[in-house]
Amino acid sequence: MALGKDYATQECSIARALEVVGERWTLLVVRDALYGVRRYNDFLVHLGIPRAVLAARLQTLTAEGILEKRRYQDSPPRDEYVLTDRGIALWPTLRSLGLWGREHFSETQLRYFRHAVCGTEVGPYGECAACGTVVPVTDVEMMPGPGLDPAPTNPVSRALLKPKRLLEPIETDSGKPTETDSVKPVETEPV
């Protein structure tokens, strides 16, 4: 029997959420958008995701109001994908899921998330123990941890080795040929 595509018989808000973000790769696309990845080719290179799958995930996330498609270049036309408030609201879920994964499946910390104002590590629900507040996503600074490869091959991973605030667009190596330069952009409407 084939696995269904929805949870129509479930009367549950978790099931409804999974219909939007429960597909394989979807939360990783949202994670990368939180990290500041915005361009199709950068998602493609960083995730190692098949083109058709990425196009489908971006289309769904845009249709559901989690991402907004914005034009950043007119000739040739190219778009970027930016998280909406609805997408940003997934941060506590991703933060908690990442901590759970680290506790149960990983031996080293890949990234630290700190309150940029005071430097305290952000708790599992986005809270700052030192300040006693929930930290706005724009005030969360991401820092590399000891588990990250210090010399990654792709430009997005290299850019993410530098401390940066969440949601700020990443800046990849400039002036050097990168893997994204050799990947033909697919900036048309996802299929």
Give per-residue pLDDT as tens, 76-125: 999 999 999 999 999 999 999 999 999 999 878 899 999 999 999 999 88
Q: How many residues does the chain have?
A: 191
Greater model confidence, 35 or 191: 35
List, in order, residues 6 or more apart from 36 with CB less than 8 Å away.
Answer: 164, 166, 167, 168, 169, 170
In this structure, what DSSP letter does residue 144 have? E
The kind and range of the H/E element at 83 are strand 78-83
Say if residues 71 and 79 touch (Cβ distance below 8 Å).
Answer: yes
Which residue type sits at 18? L
Kindly report the pTM of this predicted structure. 0.85
Examine residue 76 and say whether the peptide bond preceding it is cis (omega within 30 degrees of 0). Answer: yes
